[in-house]
A and B are shown apart, each in its own frame.
Chain A
Amino acid sequence: MSPDMIFGLLSKALMQTLQMVLVAGIVGSIIGLPIGVFLATSGKGELFPAPKTNRVLGLVVNAARSTPFIILVVAIVPLTRLLTGTSIGTWAAIVPLTIATIPFFARLVESAIREVDKGLIEAARAMGATPSQIVYKVLLPEARPSILMALTMTIVSLIGYSAMVGAVGGGGLGDLGIRFGYQRFNPEMMVLVVAVLIVLVQVVQSAGDGLARRFDKRNRNN
């Protein structure tokens, strides 16, 4: 394989991976965030008490998280068809990736919100804050560094998941590595794919850490 060809394949796969990870990451976290906040605030005696809904939602989230990703991909094919009109290709792969992201991110957000000192909620209540003011003015700002870390972790996991959607023709770096590197036994391609993935994860992690640090005023002077 010529270097040009390798480069062409790699850059196309990288674009597909970025497309899948970004779209699934953004859509998944936009939906996952409120679910996580709800999970963290709807228990008995909490801000929006709805213990039954909380339990049901918790079960759904657990079920979605315990389903192996590759089974999820196949299981939701009807939904994928409904949304994208097809069951193969990069856009079709984005649907299961998004569905997998929602409960993953929601649980991380839930624990980030639960980490916020209960004393702050009490202080806000003592000021006469409404439950939604407490969410917007206290919980979300205080949990922001942890939520940014959760987002980083979600995107890194998505990069891993996106390697599996070659099964439905989603393309991407993982798919390239399997088809060219493994099945056609091209070690150079395999090494290159892994190297690009490592760099990608590294960049995402550093950017996420940096952002979280910037907003974390808890223990440093910045």
Chain B
Amino acid sequence: MTSQHAGRAGATYAAPDGQTGSDPVAVAHSVPMVAFQGAGKRYGPAGEGGFTAVESVDLTVERGAITGIIGRSGAGKSTLIRMVNGLESVTSGKVLVDGVDVGALGEDGLRGLRRQIGMIFQHFNLLSSRTAFDNVALPLEIAGVEKKAIRAKVGPLLDLVGLGDKAGSYPSELSGGQKQRVGIARALATDPKLLLSDEATSALDPETTQSILELLKRINADLGLTVLLITHEMEVVKTIASHVAVIDAGRIVESGRTFDVYTNPQHETTRTLLASALKLPNWLRSAVKSQPSAGDRVLVRLVFFGDTAFQPLTGRLVAELGSDVNILAGAIEEISGEPFGSLVVSYSAEPDVVARANRFYAETGLTTEVLGYVA
């Protein structure tokens, strides 16, 4: 994925340590699966009275990759993903799917394109009057596939998503996770080349979310299916997306490899989204202030990866600042197979202490982020 917006743009393709194996993107195809070219969506009249949901987005979704678009609710991500299959029209710029300009297609052309793009939804959108089997069969019926071929196709799909024994169950008899599995099987029924996921795990509990994400990951790997997902949860992006774009107020504010964005966020929105993904203790989360007052302590997230991961930097930081450093939270995590550690520490917000700390960060190349201030 590339973008003209992020400060990091252009450098995102090469991993910092030269690892390219972690990136499953096939470079063989020259045409990306999806390309937004200055794409925008405006509701209502031009000028005043209208509302711009998406504004001049430049973004490419590479073949075979899982790409996440993350943003708060109302940021325009739902509109953006619907511009890919023409559920929302494009009012400026272009959206190309596999080289085809979606905006230039007529109703028939659009229907043809949609049959090549699967979509899954937050609330599953299964027909309550149809069994799991018949729900998966629906897109095939719509495409005019004959009954015998449908029967041959649906069974294996239900097996693939682990619901081989639930073919005759109605959605009301299935759990949320099972419903989304049916949704995924349905989205795969017409052998799409692209899967759109609209907050597919937002209505599920954390455990079920993980299992659905695992399934998507497996489908991506086994079928080579390109996945474009939107979410408001950094955890989802971190778990499965190799590339991420951050959207705020209709614009892409940052994009790149998930690892880079996660370990070194550039934009305020990204930081906010990351902060909510950081597992800070509740008392600490509620105590964080954005401005310091006298006697406050500064709260800093230290990120260790690549070179910095192998040095005893925490000890040296303590030596540098005195015993005042307090470790509040820490975790070792992994994105696309690359491990990194993060540590949340606090120390005095006195100018000279902060200056010493910053000098230390500059010398060692440690990636840091000020989360706020605590009393």
- Which A residues lie within 8 Å of B141 (CB)? 137
Within 8 A of A (CB), among B146-173: 170-173
B85 touches A126 (CB 8 A): yes
- Would you call A218 and B128 a contact (CB within 8 A)? yes
Asked whether, in the complex, the Cβ of B125 is within 8 Å of the Cβ of A119, the reply is yes
B129 contacts A130, CB within 8 Å?
Answer: no
Bound together, the chains give a CA A87 to CA B142 distance in angstroms of: 49
List A residues 112-143 near B (Cβ within 8 Å): 117, 119-120, 122-130, 133, 137-138, 141-142
State in angstroms the CA–CA spacing of A119 and B120 once bound together: 11
Chain A residue nearest in CB terms to B170? A217
Contact A220 B119 (CB under 8 A): no
Contact at B114–A126, with CB atoms within 8 Å? yes
Q: Give CA–CA (A142, B134) in the complex, Å.
A: 13
Q: Does A219 count as interface, using CB distance less than 8 angstroms?
A: yes
Give complex CA distance A207, B111 in Å.
41
Is A144 positioned at the interface, with any CB of B under 8 Å from its CB?
Answer: yes
Chain A residues, CB < 8 A from B123: 117, 119
Chain B residues within 8 Å of chain A by Cβ, number = 28
Quick one: which of B115, B128, B171, B172 contacts A127, CB cutoff 8 A? B115
A117 to B128, CA, bound (A): 10
* Complex interface: chain B residues within 8 A of A221 (CB): 172-173
Which residues 89-136 in B have Cβ within 8 Å of A in the complex? Answer: 110-115, 117, 119, 121, 123, 125, 127-130
Is A128 a contact of B112 with CB atoms below 8 Å?
yes
Which residues of chain B are within 8 angstroms of A120 by Cβ–Cβ distance? 125, 127
Q: Tell me, in angstroms, the Cα distance from A120 to B129 when the chains sit together.
A: 12
The interface residues of chain B lying within 8 Å CB-to-CB of A130 are 111
Nearest-neighbour CB distance to chain B for A139, whole angstroms, equals 10
Q: Which B residues, 181 to 210, have Cβ-Cβ distances below 8 Å to chain A? A: 190, 196
A128 touches B87 (CB 8 A): no
Judge if B138 is at the interface, Cβ distance under 8 Å. yes
Chain A residue numbers with a CB within 8 Å of B173 are 221
Residue contact A127 to B129, C-beta cutoff 8 Å: no
A117 pairs with B125, CB closer than 8 A: yes
Establish whether residues A217 and B125, one from each chain, have CB atoms under 8 Å apart when the complex forms.
Answer: no
User: In the bound complex, do residue B115 and residue A128 qualify as a contact, i.e. CB atoms below 8 Å apart?
Assistant: yes
Q: Which residues of A contact B139 (CB under 8 A)?
A: 127-128
A122 vs B115: C-alpha distance when bound (angstroms) = 14
A69 CB within 8 Å of chain B: no
Contacts A117-B125, A215-B129 given; does A122 touch B87 at CB 8 Å = yes
A141 touches B112 (CB 8 A): no
Chain A residues near B196 (CB-CB < 8 A): 126
In chain A, what residue has the closest Cβ to B110?
A: A128
- Are B172 and A218 touching (Cβ within 8 A)? yes
Among residues of A, the one whose C-beta sits closest to the C-beta of B142 is: A129
A125 touches B87 (CB 8 A): yes
State A120–B135 Cα separation when bound (angstroms). 11
Select from chain A the residue with minimum beta-carbon distance to B119: A126
Q: For the complex, what is the distance from the CA of A125 to the CA of B129, rounded to whole Å?
A: 18
| B172 touching A220, Cβ below 8 Å | yes
Q: B79 to nearest A CB, angstroms? A: 13
Inter-chain CA distance A201–B372, complex, in Å, is 70
Q: Please, which residues of chain B bring their CB within 8 A of the CB of A217?
A: 128-129, 170-172
**Distance (whole angstroms) from the CB of A35 to the closest CB of chain B:** 23
By the criterion CB–CB under 8 Å, are B125 and A127 in contact?
A: no
B142 engages A123 (CB within 8 Å): no
Q: How close is B216's CB to chain A, nearest CB, in angstroms?
A: 17
Do residues A128 and B114 form an inter-chain contact, with CB atoms below 8 A? Answer: yes
Q: How far is the CA of A142 from the CA of B121 in the complex (A)?
A: 18
Known interface pairs A119-B123, A218-B172. Does A127 touch B142 (Cβ–Cβ under 8 Å)?
yes
B140 to chain A, nearest CB (A): 9
B26 at the interface (CB under 8 A from A): no
Q: Are A142 and B127 in contact (CB under 8 A)?
A: yes
A141 and B142 form a contact (CB under 8 A)? no
B274 to chain A, nearest CB (A): 30
- The smallest C-beta distance from B181 to any residue of chain A, in angstroms, reads 15
Q: In the complex, which residue of chain A has the Cβ closest to the Cβ of B114?
A: A128
Contact A144 B114 (CB under 8 A): no
What is the bound-complex CA distance between A221 and B171, given in angstroms? 10
Are A141 and B117 in contact, CB atoms less than 8 angstroms apart?
A: no
Tell me the chain A residues, 191-222 only, with Cβ under 8 Å from chain B. 215, 217-221
B143 within 8 A of A: yes
C-alpha gap A211/B143 in the complex (Å): 31
Q: How far is the CB of B170 from chain A (nearest CB, A)?
A: 4
B130, closest chain A residue (CB): A141
- How distant is B85 from chain A, measured CB to nearest CB, in Å? 6
**Given A126-B119, A128-B115, A129-B142, 11 more pairs with CB closer than 8 A:** A122-B125, A127-B143, A128-B143, A133-B142, A138-B127, A141-B127, A141-B129, A142-B128, A142-B129, A217-B128, A218-B128
Q: Can you list 18 A-B contacts (CB < 8 A)? A: A119-B121, A119-B123, A126-B87, A126-B114, A126-B119, A128-B112, A128-B114, A128-B139, A128-B142, A128-B143, A137-B142, A141-B127, A215-B129, A217-B128, A217-B129, A217-B171, A218-B172, A221-B173
Binding site for A on B (CB under 8 A): 85, 87, 110-115, 117, 119, 121, 123, 125, 127-130, 138-139, 141-143, 170-173, 190, 196
Name A's B-contacting residues (CB within 8 A): 117, 119-120, 122-130, 133, 137-138, 141-142, 144, 215, 217-221
